[in-house]
Amino acid sequence: MAQRISIGFQASPPLVTRVSDDELSRLRDALGNEGWHDVEADDGSIRLNLQYVLWLRVEKDEQRVGFGIAS
């Protein structure tokens, strides 16, 4: 299942993408380390310099737009 995530950096806007559960787990394990980390996202590969990653946000529910959505 793909998870929607946002990655925050020191000097640029956040990066929003979708990753698999396994890829999210690998990213979480890498955070706090130094160097580069490759992320395989649904829309392509991302190479992160972990030194500049400040935060990671994982969306709980997929966003929906429209009428008639039951709550």
User: Is it the case that residue 68 has pLDDT exceeding 80?
Assistant: no
15 burial type by CB count under 10 A (0-12 exposed, 13-18 middle, 19+ buried): middle
Length of the chain: 71
- pLDDT tens-digit series, residues 20-67: 999 999 999 999 999 999 999 999 999 999 999 999 999 986 666 666
Higher pLDDT, 70 or 1: 1
What kind of architecture, by CATH, is found in domain 2-58?
A: Roll (2.30)
DSSP assignment of the chain equals: -EEEEEEEESSSPPEEEEEEHHHHHHHHHHTTS-SEEEEEETTEEEEEEGGGEEEEEE-SS----SS----
Q: pTM (2 decimals)? A: 0.80
State the pLDDT confidence band at 11, using cuts at 50, 70 and 90. Answer: confident
